[in-house]
A and B are shown apart, each in its own frame.
Chain A
Amino acid sequence: MKDLLTASAGTMESNDCLMIVSESDQLTIDLESIVYLQFKDQIEKVIRETLKEKGIEKLHVHCQDKGALDYTIKARLLTAIERLENMR
């Protein structure tokens, strides 16, 4: 069985998020946030739009959010994806 590659970007510091992406045969988003109730939908929207821009349909995304704004969520996801691509 082939090992699935995983990459990450970001930190657990305030205003940041830790984004972990893993190879997958489907698109799944797993979200933890200190502002989950208020911003769950917005964070997920940023993640989905970023994946769409990159043309990615299959990936497991695990986001541990510490109050990151949209640009940080997008940037950390882009870096994690780039790191995953560089591992291939």
Chain B
Amino acid sequence: MRRSLLFIPSNSPAMLQNADIFGADGVIFDLEDAVSISEKDAARTLLDTFLTMYPLNKLEIIVRINQIETSITSKELEKIVSDRIDTIMLPKATKESTLILLNQLRNIEHEKKLTKKINIIPIIEMATSVLEVSDIAKVERVNGLLLGAEDLASDLEVPRTLESLEILMPRALTILAAKAHKIDAIDTPFIHKDDDEGLVKDAKFAKQLGMNAKACIHPNQVEIINEIFSPSMAEIHQALRIIEAHERPENIHKGAFSLDGKMVDKPIIDRAHKLIEKAKAWHLL
């Protein structure tokens, strides 16, 4: 379950060894934009050695690789794919590149005799990705979609603004595709790392649209994002009341019943259970 995913540059020992102290639900070890071309080899060896010697069991371990079309990707996957990681994040995803990654993962998992299946989070950051987002979302092992607004804005030839009107439709389409395939919709990072007020506004709006989680580029953003994407105490209390009311003998076999004068039916009961599951996972109960 995801609320916050923190990007960590993979060639920085100081950042790597503190990856698990910031309270993020997952960390994205970055081999792409945060690492210069001349240091790609050093970064993948440093990350692999780090994860071998310091397993991070309580976090989702995500690795952002380079674009699938580059020659670097095969070397990265050979080195990085192991039982120590959970997910590969794929930049500039298209349906084709996501399927290529899926096949590469299957081959490497078979060769290395892994005990787990690695998941995929494609990044929706090109106009093509947005148009193909539903097809990308239904590829096996894809369990979340990350909207990448900065690269997308470049592809759309528009400036990025604080209001984010330019990404409104891609945001909505990413959410719809994710929800239609029952996977996570993960919002683009807010890149103004010192603007807490702006982050709150942006994250609340993303949540209102339907995003489940948000990526972040600075440890200081984790707490705000966790708070916004966690259920509130009022929501938890109401969910518990709905579940308790549903489990009463007079309601348990009913398709719908009334609580506080409002109809409660299956979708509302399911949502209440899902919310309580999240609250338990995040120790809010």
Contact = CB atoms under 8 A, between A and B. Distances in A.
A68 B42 contact: no
Interface string A55-88: 0000000000000111110111011001100000
A16 B54 CA distance: 16
A69 B41 contact: no
A17 B48 CA distance: 17
B232 interface: no
Given A71-B50, A71-B52, A78 B13 contact: no
B14 A16 contact: yes
A82 B44 CA distance: 12
A76 B48 CA distance: 12
Contact of A15 (B13, B45, B48): B13
Residue among B13, B14, B46, B48 with the highest chain A CB neighbour number at 10 A: B13
A70 B52 CA distance: 12
Interface residues of B, number: 14
Contacts, number: 45
Interface of A: 9-10, 13-16, 68-72, 74-76, 78-79, 82-83
6 contacts: A13-B14, A16-B14, A69-B13, A69-B17, A71-B52, A79-B45
Residue among A16, A75, A79 with the highest chain B CB neighbour number at 10 A: A75
Contacts of B52: 71
Given A71-B49, A71-B50, A75-B50, A14 B14 contact: yes
B14 A75 contact: no
B53 interface: yes
A78 B49 contact: yes
Given A71-B54, A75-B50, A82 B45 contact: yes
Given A70-B53, A71-B49, A79 B13 contact: no
Nearest to B14: A15
